[in-house]
Amino acid sequence: MLSTRFLWRTVGLAALLSTLICMFGFVYAINQIIFPTLATNSELVSPGETMKPKESPLATKEKIQIVAFGDSLTAGTGDLSGRGYVGQTKEKLEKQLGKPVFIFNNFAIPGFRTYDILKDMDAKKDIGASLSQADLILFTAGGNDLFEGGQGVMDTAGDEGFNPKGAEDRMPEALKRLEEIMDRIAKLNTTATIVYVGLYHPFLDMDPSRQGSLVIQKWNAAAFEIAHRYPNVIVVPTSDLFELNLNKYLYTDHFHPNQDGYERIAERITQVVN
């Protein structure tokens, strides 16, 4: 009889204990849903921290050295202040990061096409040396290949405006050379942030069918695909910056940006790399 009573008491206590544990677990779960707490384990990260963007490599530098090369866009043709997008990017980064930013070298030459850039890199050893020391590399290429500096892109009859076929025909070979340029600089400097500034359509107002925009879109998409192979190469798009306000942001030559146009490019670059 005694053993039976002891057994029932044991079962009762166990049942009571199980009920209390279940109730405590239920209350704790509800509390965590309503009032969640951050994990204290140092190896875990709170949800808020996972949403933070990865810190820019430039933010860790005490100073930033910019090396630029390419064609007239990187040379700043059309900006009467002489700064172009390179100089304005320097100023904006300096202001936002609160640290010295220097233009170490700008090797850009107006009129250069992709093959001119490659020949220049072969002929001038200081280009490679400077690129290898840079923290930020900025370059443009391809506009003169497609548009021939504004020549050879108009209809031969002279009465139909812009003709994109010539630009499209020149694209495949120019893209091969762009790929070689990106490959060279990515191998010369594996730690720098390398920015290729995408193309825009400077003859949009002479292109009512907007076929030229499709050519530019194909070029920029191909450039992005090439850049995607290298972890430190970024393509910064610019076509949307000019599409709705072409005359407002182009220089009087109807090909290069003016000072305000270059500022828009510099602002885009700063947003991307910072």
Taking the C-alpha atoms of residue 274 and residue 89, their distance in angstroms, rounded to an integer, is 11
Question: Does 132 lie in the same domain as 19?
Answer: no
Q: Does one domain contain both 146 and 232?
A: yes
Q: Based on the fold, state whether residues 19 and 73 are members of the same structural domain.
A: no
Per-residue buried b or exposed e for 105-138, using 16+ beta carbons within 10 Å of the residue's own CB = bbbbeeebbbebbbebbeeeeebeebbbebbbbb
Please state the domain count of the chain: 2
61 shares its domain with 195:
yes
Cα(88)–Cα(84) distance, integer angstroms: 6
pLDDT of residue 105: 97
Distance in angstroms (rounded) separating the CA atoms of residues 249 and 266: 13
pLDDT, mean of residues 246-270: 95
Q: Is 52 a domain residue?
A: no
The whole domain housing 124 covers 57-273
User: pLDDT by residue (tens digit) across 105-131?
Assistant: 999 999 999 999 999 999 999 999 999
What's the mean pLDDT in 248-255?
93
Is 254 a member of any domain? yes
Q: Give the predicted TM-score (pTM) of the model.
A: 0.78
**Any idea which of 143-147, 158-162, 173-177, 229-233 has the lowest mean pLDDT?**
158-162
pLDDT grade for 49, boundaries at 50, 70 and 90: very low
Sheet holding 233-236, edge to edge: 101-106, 64-70, 136-140, 193-197, 233-236
Whether residue 145 lies inside any domain: the answer is yes
